[in-house]
Structure 1
Amino acid sequence: MAVAVVLFTRDLRVHDNPALASGCRTASRVVPLFVRDPAVPSSPGRDRFLAESLADLRDSLRRRGGDLVIRHGDPVAETMRVAGEVGARHVVSAADVSAYARRRERRLATACAGERTSLTVTPGVTVVAPDALKPYRVFTPYHRAWLALPWRRLESAPRTVSLPDAPLRSVDLPVPVSGGSPSPFPGGETAGRRRLSGWLSTVDRYADDHDDLAGDRTSRLSPYLHFGCLSPLDVAAKAGGGPGAEAFVRQLCWRDFYQQLLYSFPALPSVALRASAPDDWRDRDDALEAWRAGRTGVPIVDAGMRQLAREGWMHNRARLITASFLTRYLGLDWRAGAAHFARLLLDADVASNNGNWQWVAGTGTDTKPYRRFNPIRQAGRFDPAGDYVRRHVPELTAVAGRDVHQPWLLPERVRSGLDYPVPLAGVAPASWM
């Protein structure tokens, strides 16, 4: 009786999961395993999302006759321990791109070789494998090459998952941290597929609507893609054609672009990609703290930062505005901003987070490295009525229309009753008009 251990990492799903499909084809008995790795950074929001995702995955496996074994500790040691307990001679896991994930894969390969256990590493975290193309540092030629590649076939969810007879120890599911605002993102594949289905009914409007801050018409699928509750290939395939779908699939290509960039440049989270990029960032703790707290005095920036703190997510246009404000107007190091996003975002993907921060800061892949996003013009264009700002900055609820974007221009008798800060010292909003 052949037994395989399928190690889940960032692929918490049963649909289009090449690792799970491979394990079920290879062996008559399969042990689905997730190891809670203390070395992986966490946050209350991500812990909650992970707990809900694991519970949903466990339920999906149980409906197919299987179960999910959960352990805590080093994923390599625990995988080999489980393999020894059930006499498995085959381990399957999905490839990933970060330096830590690739070290884990190499350690797992060494451990499997030492025990004469075969290891299969499957794709699954991207649409196109990160090494399928030569390394690109500019998006447009990568996009053309990406579109020309054939995609792998989608894997069906297994009808049955048969466990070995040996009893297996499993720790309890992580307990989500309670309290705080309700999250708009319930974790798990079931919730992700439901959101995807609803989103696809509106995808034809994506090209026109995705930058509308108040309208909030982006897919909000990024946490599900980050945790692998949804297959990026499945999402791309379901999007179909049409201008809206093409614009949306282009965003999935951007995600792949940063994954392949991190794969070829592992120092992306800490080292400027452009060797000629300036590195003379200012040191202003007061400004950094005001930015983190959403108290810069620039409403569109503060709205984005408060949305991040409350929801664990931020509209993509707001991400560009807040990141540009930190690096271009305050002159603060992009790494400090990326670290704050990484602490709070549910979709805190190492590749996309750091790749996008470097793009905005002019240290990465932007072919126009000196561009900046004028926050007042951006606010007027993408939140013309000010509804996004009023939604997230309640001190300004009573300020009408576009005035909400420039409260410092209001009469003193009005401004004094707002309980809202003037813009940080060192920035000059009057010059942005």
Structure 2
Amino acid sequence: MTVAVVLFTADLRVHDHPPLRAALRTAETVVPLFVRDGTIAAAGFTAPNREAFLADCLTDLHESLRERGGRLVVRSGDVTRTVCAVAAEAGADEVHLAADHSGYARHREDRLRAALTAERRTLHVHEAVGTALPPGSVTPQGSDHYAVFTPYFRRWSRERLREPLAAPRRVPVPAHIRSEGPPFPAPTAGLSPALPPGGEREARRRLTAWLRDGLGAYEDRHDDLAGDATSRLSPYLHFGAVSAAEVVHRARARGGPGAEAFVRQLCWRDFHRQVLAARPSAAHHEYRPHGDRWRTERSAADDVEAWRQGRTGYPIVDAALRQLAHEGWMHNRGRLLAASLLTKTLYVDWRVGARHFLHLLVDGDLANNQLNWQWVAGTGTDTRPNRVLNPVLQGRRYDPEGDYVRRWVPELAEVPGAAVHEPWKPRTAALVRGGYPQPIVDLSDGLARFRRARGRED
């Protein structure tokens, strides 16, 4: 009986799964395998919120496979050694996985291919995980990647995406291959109180509801902080509980301005992936240095801690950071505002903020997180690297009635309307409760410091 191993990584689903479908075409039985990679934990990329979400995804994937006559095999350890051991136990001649383009993933793939080849087994690498269009599939003339989003989006939009695959009806798995679960362990400490549930079923339920009820108004409402009018699919896309290609196809099938605006946002994920694939160092080093001498976490300790705790004195930023702590998620507009205050107004190294986000975000993705932080800090792909977002003006624009702020900053619950964005004003100060702080920096002072640092006095 022929056997193949399917290595699941960031593609924890049965719908639109090219490696699984390919393995089922060539083998009579398959071993769906997930390896808890100790290297990732040792590097500090695991976090309680994502570990809890991962446990949900693994449980859901196991149940989906059981409905199809199979099960999920989970092991812990070095990926290469573990995959080779499982392939030997199963008598598998082939291993299938989806491509990933981070520096670590490419190194993992190279090691795995060499080890399997030495054992006379074959590694088959399929469509990339996490993107609608694989990194490197479109490039500008004279470069290996697009450094500006708009021309990338134009080219990306003209490409034909592959058609999503249906889930297999049966997944026969050898009975003798042992697994470490279920249940799959999840942390109980250090979790945000209001984490979303993980798993493909939840992802598909949310996607269907969003396409029906939210997509049509997305163009007009996607920056409405109080309205919470985004899809919230980012954690499910990060773990591959739903396919990016399928999401794009289903949104385009609905059509209209809302779908166009939503697909454009999905394209940003692919854009950042192709930048990081071409420049892996951008995960930790500045993509476009400007000679910044950033304040460090140590030199700006009080400001950094106030920022983390959501006590900067700028309500829209504090609301966003408190939402992050409570839900493990933050609206994209909130991410931009929190990052701008830290990097441009407080002039703190963007890596300090990026680490905090990665510690809490359920959708904490290296490419999107790091490159979005660099975009805001002016060291990334932003064509206006010296732009500074004013949290007061942004608050008035994207939370005009102050409802989002009052939801997350109860000290300001009695401050009416847009006045909540300037609680230090004499006419509202008497309504502030609970010791809400004064701004930790004057916006004009922060702007002047940033312009001096960048050599700009305009």
What range describes the TM-score normalised by the shorter chain of this pair? over 0.9
* 1:153 corresponds to 2:158: no
**C-alpha separation between the residues in 2 aligned to 1:310 and 1:71?**
31
Distance 1:77 1:38, change over 3 A: same
Equivalent residue in structure 1 for 2:368, among 314, 328, 352: 352
* 1:210 corresponds to 2:205: no
Distance 1:410 1:125, change over 3 A: same
Equivalent residue in structure 2 for 1:198, among 191, 197, 209: 209
Distance 1:425 1:30, change over 3 A: same
What residue in structure 2 maps to residue 113 of structure 1?
117
Q: How does 1:245-284 map to 2 (within 5 A)?
A: 245-275=259-289, 277-282=290-295, 283-284=299-300
Q: How does 1:29-428 map to 2 (within 5 A)?
A: 29-40=29-40, 41-123=45-127, 124-134=129-139, 135-178=145-188, 182-201=193-212, 202-240=214-252, 241-275=255-289, 277-282=290-295, 283-410=299-426, 414=430, 417-425=433-441, 427-428=443-444
**C-alpha separation between the residues in 1 aligned to 2:429 and 2:325?**
31
Equivalent AA in structure 1 for residue 84 of structure 2: M
**C-alpha separation between the residues in 2 aligned to 1:115 and 1:429?**
64
Contact persistence 1:323–1:337 (CA under 8 A): yes
Contact persistence 2:317–2:338 (CA under 8 A): yes
Instruction: Report the secondary structure of 1:278's partner residue.
Output: coil
Shift of 1:148: 1.4
Shift of 1:174: 3.1
Shift of 1:425: 4.0
Equivalent AA in structure 2 for residue 127 of structure 1: A
**C-alpha separation between the residues in 2 aligned to 1:19 and 1:413?**
60
RMSD: 1.8
Shift of 1:39: 2.4
Equivalent AA in structure 1 for residue 292 of structure 2: D
Shift of 1:165: 4.5
Contact persistence 2:378–2:385 (CA under 8 A): yes
Equivalent AA in structure 2 for residue 142 of structure 1: Y
Equivalent AA in structure 2 for residue 50 of structure 1: L
Distance 1:169 1:217, change over 3 A: closer
**C-alpha separation between the residues in 1 aligned to 2:2 and 2:239?**
29
Distance 1:32 1:409, change over 3 A: same
Shift of 1:169: 3.9
Unaligned runs of 5+ in 2: 140-144, 449-458
Contact persistence 2:59–2:182 (CA under 8 A): no
Shift of 1:412: 8.6
Equivalent AA in structure 1 for residue 294 of structure 2: W
Distance 1:24 1:360, change over 3 A: same
Distance 1:119 1:430, change over 3 A: closer
**C-alpha separation between the residues in 2 aligned to 1:196 and 1:293?**
32
Contact persistence 1:330–1:427 (CA under 8 A): no
**C-alpha separation between the residues in 1 aligned to 2:152 and 2:427?**
51
Shift of 1:175: 2.5
What residue in structure 1 maps to residue 456 of structure 2?
none
Shift of 1:172: 4.3
**C-alpha separation between the residues in 2 aligned to 1:170 and 1:14?**
20
**C-alpha separation between the residues in 1 aligned to 2:332 and 2:238?**
15
Deviations 1:237-282 (A, max 9, x none): 000221100110011111000001110000111111114x232112
Contact persistence 2:402–2:417 (CA under 8 A): yes
Equivalent AA in structure 2 for residue 168 of structure 1: R
Distance 1:231 1:90, change over 3 A: same
Percent sequence identity over aligned pairs = 53
Equivalent AA in structure 2 for residue 408 of structure 1: W
**C-alpha separation between the residues in 1 aligned to 2:410 and 2:74?**
43
Distance 1:183 1:337, change over 3 A: same
Contact persistence 2:5–2:95 (CA under 8 A): yes
Shift of 1:342: 0.7
**C-alpha separation between the residues in 2 aligned to 1:413 and 1:242?**
45
**C-alpha separation between the residues in 2 aligned to 1:336 and 1:61?**
40
Contact persistence 1:17–1:157 (CA under 8 A): yes
**C-alpha separation between the residues in 1 aligned to 2:443 and 2:394?**
16
Equivalent AA in structure 2 for residue 115 of structure 1: E
* 1:7 corresponds to 2:17: no
**C-alpha separation between the residues in 1 aligned to 2:119 and 2:21?**
23
Instruction: Report the secondary structure of 2:123's partner residue.
Output: strand
**C-alpha separation between the residues in 1 aligned to 2:400 and 2:179?**
57
Shift of 1:144: 1.1
Shift of 1:156: 1.3
Equivalent AA in structure 1 for residue 135 of structure 2: P
Shift of 1:158: 0.7
Contact persistence 1:51–1:174 (CA under 8 A): yes
Unaligned runs of 5+ in 1: none
